[in-house]
Amino acid sequence: MRRAQLEETVAVAHSPIEQFEIKPLFQMEIAGFDASFTNSSLWMVIVVSFMSLFMVAGMRKSAAVPGRWQSAVEVLYEFVAGMIRDNVGREGKKYFPFIFTLFVFILGLNLAGMLPYSFTATSHIAVNFAMALFVFVGVTLIGFIKNGAGYLRLFAPSGVPLWLLPLIVLIEIISYCTRPISLAVRLFANMLAGHIMMKVFAGFIISLGAAGVAGMVGAVLPFGVTVLLTGLEILVACLQAYVFTILTCIYLNDAMHPGH
Amino acid sequence: MELAAAKMIGAGIATLALAGIGIGLGNIFGSYLSGALRNPSAAPKQFTNLLIGFALTEATGLFALVIAFLILFT
């Protein structure tokens, strides 16, 4: 009985989902809403200040022949600028600051989540959904301001036979409205699944290592897997930031040139 | 107790989506490889497209994980 209880507490203490717990660092309440400064906010502040420092201090001298630091900043800039050029075109240049901020913010949060004892803010759907909703509302507004009612052409692709049109329009409208959900859940699920997987394999090392010498030898296997998973997760962190941004670019392109 | 058992079974069934994801991921990488072997000079340009396809397909599988979690923990 006691042993079972003990095992249960151990299992709870090493639950792979524990890492996603939001802990308020100091309590705050604004107009009846819980607006505490949490560990999630703390990591966002850390990422934003680190990235701002990285950009501003890197470009402080802005030499014609860039040094190593300035090159790193310029590569990041050029990467996002190229993405907008290829996917949106010249008119997309106006929206560069927003998309660049989005990319750097998500990339920073994803990568900060890979540090030990850190917190992955993008593993919470509230954070992602806020960003995705911002993109969705912004893109819809831009589309209607640029094209007026012509933006509705987006829902009726050209070259579709007339009898199929009602069905296609319905499907297009549904897929348009699920954009913010899929955008948010994609990032959320990737971060959640990756971090749970890493915790589970790291837990195997501990439980095998506790089982004696033979267990310790066997623990080499999950240790190797954890190392590989860490690499995969860093790839996924960059990739998901890229995917979120490129989808934003594609949506923006739809708003600029509907009916293509 | 029956509800708990049904939840477990439901979460298990939700992971069936992995079959489709397996086919999809295999398809993406297989097609990329066969394309890259036919025309190696064009391969590096398509590598980012490969990664986008990989991420989008993988995310579809993770939607199933989210559903499984929703079934288990709500």
Q: Is the pLDDT of residue A8 over 60?
A: no
Q: How far is A232 from chain B (nearest CA, A)?
A: 12
- pLDDT at site A2: 52
Residue-wise pLDDT tens digits, A12-21: 456 777 778 8
A89: left (phi over 0), alpha (psi -120 to 50) or beta: left
Q: Does residue B63 belong to the interface with chain A, where contact is any CB pair within 8 Å?
A: yes
Fold (topology level) of B2-73: F1FO ATP Synthase (1.20.20)
Q: If you average pLDDT over every residue of chain A, what do you get?
A: 85
Q: Does residue B66 belong to the interface with chain A, where contact is any CB pair within 8 Å?
A: yes
Q: Is the pLDDT of residue A51 over 90?
A: yes
Full DSSP string of A84-141: HHHHT-GGGGGGHHHHHHHHHHHHHHHHHTTSTT---GGGSHHHHHHHHHHHHHHHHH
Select the residue from B25, B45, B58, B72 to test the A interface by mutation, using most A Cβ atoms within 10 A. B58
- pLDDT at site A39: 86
Q: How far is A237 from chain B (nearest CA, A)?
A: 11
Q: Does residue A193 belong to the interface with chain B, where contact is any CB pair within 8 Å?
A: yes
Q: Does residue B9 belong to the interface with chain A, where contact is any CB pair within 8 Å?
A: no
Q: How far is B35 from chain A (nearest CA, A)?
A: 22
**Alpha carbons B45 and A9: distance in angstroms, whole number:** 52
Q: Is the pLDDT of residue A64 over 80?
A: no
Per-residue b or e along B6-35, where b marks 16 or more CB atoms closer than 10 Å to that residue's CB: eeeeebeebeebeeebeebbeebeeebeee
Among A165, A187, A167, A166, residue whose Cα is nearest residue A238: A187
The two three-digit tokens of residue A242, written as one number: 């890229």
pLDDT band per the 50, 70, 90 thresholds, residue B23:
very high
pLDDT band per the 50, 70, 90 thresholds, residue A111:
very high
**Alpha carbons A238 and A242: distance in angstroms, whole number:** 6
- Please give the radius of gyration of chain B, using alpha carbons only, rounded to the nearest integer: 17
Put simply, the chain A residues between 239 and 258 with a CB less than 8 A from any chain B CB are 239-240, 242-243, 246
Please give the average per-residue pLDDT across A135-144, as a whole number. 92
The two three-digit tokens of residue A210, written as one number: 């506790």
For residues A77 and A9, the model is more confident at: A77
Q: Report chain A residues whose CB lies below 8 A from the CB of B67.
A: none
Cα angle B28, B31, B36; round to 5: 120
Say which residue the tokens 């590598």 belong to: B47
The amino acid at residue A228 is L
Q: Is the pLDDT of residue B6 over 60?
A: yes
Q: Is the pLDDT of residue A259 over 70?
A: no
Task: Write the residue in B55, B65, B66 that is nearest to A240 by C-beta.
Answer: B55
The amino acid at residue A2 is R
pTM of structure? 0.84
Task: Write the residue in A188, A192, A243 that is nearest to B56 by C-beta.
Answer: A243
- The phi and psi torsions of A88 (rounded to 5 degrees) equal -110, -35
**Alpha carbons A90 and A208: distance in angstroms, whole number:** 57
- pLDDT at site A3: 53
- pLDDT at site A31: 77
For residues A30 and A194, the model is more confident at: A194
Percentage of the residues of chain B whose pLDDT score is greater than 90: 31
Q: What is the enclosing helix (H) or strand (E) of A33?
A: strand A33-34
- pLDDT at site B64: 87
CB contact under 8 A, A185 and B52: no
Please give the average per-residue pLDDT across A37-44, as a whole number. 88
pLDDT band per the 50, 70, 90 thresholds, residue A154:
confident
Q: Which ipTM score applies to this complex?
A: 0.75
CB contact under 8 A, B66 and A239: no
